[in-house]
Chain A
Amino acid sequence: MNEKERKAGSEQQLSRRDMLKMLGGSAAGMSMAKIAGLGGSAAALLSGMPAGAQTKVEIWTGFGQGRMADAMQGAIDNFAAENPEFAPEHIIVPWGEIHDRVIAATSAGSPPDAYRGWAWIVGDAAIGALTNLQPYVDAADVDLMDFWPATLNQMKYQGDVHAMSISTIVLFMYYNKDRMREGGLDPDNPPKTVAELDEQGAVLNDIADDGEILRLGFAPTLPSKQVWDWGAAFGSQYWDESEGNIALDQEAWVELLNWYKGYGDKFGVENLAGYHSTYSGNGFGRNSPQGIYYTGLISFWVIGSWLFNDMGEYGPDVDFGVAPIPTLESADDARPGTSIGNMYFVPANCANPDGGFAFANYMSSSPYVTINKALPDSVMPSRPSLANLPEVEEEGAWTVLARDEILPNTLERPSFPGNGFLGGALNEAVDHVMFNDADPAEVIADAVARSRREVERMRG
């Protein structure tokens, strides 16, 4: 806190009488607001709080450990310093539970004022779970043109902004240069096409006589199937805006499912599943030097840019590189995966939507956050103005690759209601083809039909 802020703080000191008045007024105001179904900002007005009094902003994120916990706390402290009218309170919720818990809390009428989630959650607007931020955006005169177009689309539901994006995840193909050298491959020429990836991955497999995989070159199911991204790399779209419904490219998906199946057949699907099961604990050991990425147990893999700094932290001796996801040469509109906005949401009926929006807007626009939060998380800022900061370029070659080569070419993962269901159905389709020898054309048609029904259901 600087001298000016300390002075401002001391001027706001209250006498005991004022404090009692304020608490009494606040309690009465809150009761009235509760009865009338008003939000926290209205409650503050009713309570007669002195100008400059703080309102609490409850923020939920999953940044609970390691460098990202420190970075998040730093961002929150900076927000509090820049916005003395708000008193942010950070509550850590495991990433795997955060969405469910927010939905449950929203249903119960006590959600946080802001929380961190991902682009697909924008679909929650269809069930009324999110505050429409468009009026706040208009009032604050937010420059929406200063977002990546794909990210901006993901922030919107039916034309209105329902989320503020802090950063945009792109996917990299990571490759272990040590393993490539070991296998006689050129580490300066990583695969650019699916065919090259198949070929180079096969060279680096280490298989026991009984078929057990000892070290893996590449398989599209490890660490996860990445169905959205490989779908884009095979030239499929997901959503038809004019029709307002799911629209997958059937031909591309049949080819993709056959590709997955080919890997199941090549390794033996049981061997592949066994390898996955052996190492999948704790996110494939993402936060451990024994993790699969840092020990040469996999040579090529596709995952978000967010792993980049983990590689430096947990595998400092691993010589690795990153490149765009290889694409299918024969596909007309093949893309290097999809992009996913990391978003801050303001749940519907939260106590302090003003504070929630202020925080979300701060996180999406602050250079401090870009430098001290997004970059340590190795994700690209969602605003080109921030992505062009000198500190971003100085961070490393990955930022330029993500910003200039990948982001402009990725397929935007649309924010439609039921996209979580579609993701689940696509993963099931891969399993059915690999394990049950199901017909790719049938399973993909079934997945699309069921997902379309779900879209209709969510629209009510």
Chain B
Amino acid sequence: MLRLKRDPQSQPNSWRTDNLPAWGLFFVAPWIIGFIAFTVYPFFASLYYSFTNFNIINLTPRWVGLDNYVELFTADPLFWTSINNSIRYAALLLVFATVFDIFIAYLLSQNVRFLSIYRTIFFFPVLVPVVAASLTWIWILNPRYGLMNGLLDLIGVKGPNWLASPDTAMYSLIFIGVWGSGRSVIVYLSGFNDIPRQLYEAADIDGASGIQKFWRITLPLLSPQIFFNVVTLIIFSLQSFSEVYIMTQGGPANSTLLYALNLYNRAFRDYAMGYASALAWIMFLLILGLTLIIFKFLSGKVIYER
């Protein structure tokens, strides 16, 4: 039985710490149980299922060895299509979102009037539920009645079929992804605010140009935030699902079939749980591999000390 006893030797409000680890475990037990039940167990169970033919109803999976993996790599064109789409989506989103977010964060770090309003505006998309945002974007990007093409029409440009054309659907999703990346802006903003002003003052005295200051001071000292955002953005973008599920369902002509959507289709449309588990493990290894590569090549370039 755990007991907290008042220690007569100590201050009136302190407690003996003999049982502190046990009490700690007791209080975190709900989380540990949940973590084991809903993360650890499914993690290893899915590895087992990936070597089986298993549907969601019949709880007796049939062992098929590497068949699912062999089929993935040799006989499933949608696997390669979805890998290709997801990597393209992640890479382009990474580039555009990073440039855009740093630029916006830089503007928001300036001392101008109504700054808090501007910051709220750029963070606002993060607060909008994905479903609501996606449905709104469907209307904004409607080829004939949408706001986007209406604005383009005002300047004499005929807008494209944003979500209905294989040429533009992926870029539309990337654009929406950039629009929703306000969380990264906040991280960059904190980075900008952490850069000591005296470094810029010293550079001014030395006659450095604005570009030189950006490359020699701002970017290096912003590298921890860039590193963090690059890693998290890659992970999240490779797992993107909701927007594409709502807006395009992977179409047209599978041009926006992202990996997570393909996995969902195989699991919950076709009930091929074993096959979907194999897809999930490939995705896990892909993300793990990319993250390790990024750590290997970028972590040494990050400047943490100021």
Chain A partners chain B:
yes
What residues make up the interface of A, taking CB atoms closer than 8 Å to B?
100, 103-104, 106-107, 124, 127-129, 210, 270, 273-274, 276-278, 281, 348, 418, 420-421, 424, 428, 431-432, 434-436, 446, 450, 453-454, 457-458, 460
Shortest A260–chain B CB gap in Å is 12
Least Cβ distance of A126 to chain B in Å? 9
Does B58 contact A274, Cβ atoms closer than 8 Å? no
The answer to whether B275 and A457 touch across the interface, beta carbons within 8 angstroms, is yes
Given contacts A278-B143, A431-B254, A432-B253, contact A458 B55 (CB under 8 A): yes
Contacts of B58 in A (CB 8 A): 127-128, 460
- Does B166 touch A at the CB level, under 8 Å? yes
Interface membership of chain B positions 266-285, coded 1 if the CB is closer than 8 angstroms to chain A and 0 otherwise: 00111110010000000000
Q: Which of A274, A348, A435, A460 contacts B144 (CB 8 A)?
A: A274
- Of B57, B139, B275, which is in contact with the most chain A CB atoms at under 10 Å from its CB? B57
Interface residues as binary, B133-168 with A (CB distance below 8 Å gives 1, 0 otherwise)? 000001100111100000000000010110111100
What is the chain A residue whose CB lies nearest that of B62? Answer: A460
A431 touches B143 (CB 8 A): no
> B252 contacts the other chain (Cβ, under 8 Å)?
yes
B271 CB to closest chain A CB (Å) equals: 6
**Residues in chain B near residue A434, CB distance under 8 A:** 253
Identify which of A127, A210, A436 contacts B253 (C-beta below 8 A).
Answer: A436
Contact pick for B271, options A127, A348, A424, A453, CB 8 Å: A127
* Interface of chain B residues 46 through 99 with chain A (CB within 8 A): 53, 55-58, 62, 71, 75-77
A37-B304 Cα distance, complex, nearest whole Å: 60
In the complex, whether B125 has a CB less than 8 A from a CB of chain A is no
B268 CB contacts on chain A under 8 angstroms: 100, 103
Task: A127-B57, A276-B164, A458-B55 given; name 15 further pairs at CB < 8 Å.
Answer: A107-B57, A273-B161, A274-B143, A277-B143, A281-B138, A281-B142, A420-B270, A424-B269, A434-B253, A435-B166, A435-B255, A450-B76, A453-B75, A458-B272, A460-B62
Which partner residue on chain A sits nearest B145 by CB separation?
A278
Closest approach, in angstroms, between the C-beta of B167 and any C-beta of chain A? Answer: 8
How many pairs of A and B residues are in contact by the CB < 8 Å rule? Answer: 84
If the complex has contacts A278-B143, A453-B75, A454-B272, are A431 and B57 also in contact, measured as CB distance less than 8 A? no
Within 8 Å CB of B253, what residues of A? 428, 431-432, 434-436
CB distance from A37 to the nearest CB of B (A): 13
Contacts of A276 in B (CB 8 A): 164
Which B residues touch A432, using CB under 8 A?
253
CA of A457 to CA of B143, assembled, Å? 41
Residue of B nearest to A349 (CB): B57
Instruction: Return A95 CB to nearest CB of chain B, in Å.
Output: 15
Contact with A along B238-272 (1 / 0, CB 8 A): 00000000000001111100000000010011111
**Can you pick out 15 interface pairs between chain A and chain B where the beta carbons lie within 8 Å of each other?**
A103-B57, A107-B56, A127-B57, A273-B161, A273-B252, A274-B144, A277-B143, A281-B142, A421-B270, A428-B253, A432-B253, A435-B253, A454-B272, A458-B271, A460-B62
Contact between B55 and A127, CB atoms less than 8 A apart? yes
Residues in B lying within 8 Å of A, measured CB to CB: 53, 55-58, 62, 71, 75-77, 138-139, 142-145, 158, 160-161, 163-166, 251-255, 265, 268-272, 275
A259 to chain B minimum Cβ distance, whole angstroms, is 17
Determine which of B53, B142, B269 lies in contact with A457 in the assembled complex, contact meaning CB atoms within 8 Å. Answer: B53
* Of A104, A106, A274, A421, most B-chain CB atoms within 10 Å: A274
A278-B142 in contact (CB<8A): yes
Max chain A CB contacts within 10 Å: which of B76, B142, B158?
B142
Residue of B nearest to A432 (CB): B253
The smallest beta-carbon distance between A120 and chain B, in angstroms, is 12
Identify A103's interface contact among B53, B56, B71, B166, CB under 8 A.
Answer: B56
Q: Please measure, in the bound complex, the distance between the C-alpha atom of A365 and the C-alpha atom of B77, giving whole angstroms.
A: 46
A458 to B57, CA, bound (A): 11
Q: How far is the CB of B88 from chain A (nearest CB, A)?
A: 16
B271: chain A residues at CB < 8 Å are 103, 127, 458
Q: In chain A, what residue has the closest Cβ to B143?
A: A274
A278–B160 alpha-carbon span in the complex (Å): 12
Closest Cβ of chain A to B58, distance in Å, is: 5
Which residues on B sit within 8 Å (CB–CB) of A446?
77
Q: In the bound complex, do residue A454 and residue B161 qualify as a contact, i.e. CB atoms below 8 Å apart? A: no
* Residues of B with C-beta under 8 A to A106: 57
- Tell whether, in the assembled complex, residue B252 and residue A435 are in contact, meaning their CB atoms are under 8 Å apart: yes
* In contact, B270 and A454 (Cβ under 8 angstroms): yes
Complex Cα gap A454–B78 (Å):
14
| Nearest A residue (CB) for B272 | A457
Cβ contacts under 8 Å, B75 to chain A = 450, 453
Q: How far is the CB of B59 from chain A (nearest CB, A)?
A: 8
Smallest CB separation, A97 vs chain B (Å): 11
Check if B165 sits within 8 Å of A273, measured CB to CB.
yes
Contact A128–B57 (Cβ < 8 Å): yes
Which residue, A107, A428, A435, A457, has most C-beta atoms of chain B within 10 A?
A457
What are the residues of chain B within 8 A of A127 when measuring CB–CB?
A: 55-58, 271
**Which residues of the partner chain B approach A421 to less than 8 Å between Cβ atoms?**
269-270
In the complex, A106→B158 CA distance in Å? 50
Q: Which of A277, A428, A436, A458 is close to B161, meaning CB atoms less than 8 Å apart?
A: A277
Residues of A within 8 Å of B62, CB to CB, are: 460
Once the chains are docked, how many angstroms separate the CA of A69 from the CA of B254? 36
> CB-CB < 8 A to A424: which residues of B?
265, 269
Taking a contact as CB atoms under 8 Å apart, the answer to whether B71 and A453 are in contact is yes
CA distance A420 to B266 in the complex (A): 11
A contact residues around B143 at 8 Å (CB): 274, 277-278
Q: A127-B58, A432-B253 given as contacts; is B164 within 8 A of A274 (CB)?
A: yes
Residues of A within 8 A of B142 (CB): 277-278, 281
A109 nearest CB across to chain B (Å): 10
CA distance A278 to B165 in the complex (A): 12
A270/B57 in contact, CB under 8 A: no
Q: Which residues of A contact B166 (CB under 8 A)?
A: 435-436
List chain A residues, Cβ under 8 A from B139. 281
Residue of B nearest to A434 (CB): B253
Residue of chain A at shortest CB distance from B135: A281
Q: Looking at A270, A418, A434, which has the most chain B CB atoms within 10 Å of its CB?
A: A270
Q: Which residues of A contact B160 (CB under 8 A)?
A: 270
A216 vs B144: C-alpha distance when bound (angstroms): 15
How far is A276 from B158 in the complex, measured between Cα atoms in Å?
17
| Contact residues in A for B165 (Cβ distance below 8 Å) | 270, 273-274
Known: A210-B158, A431-B252. A277 touches B55 (CB 8 A): no
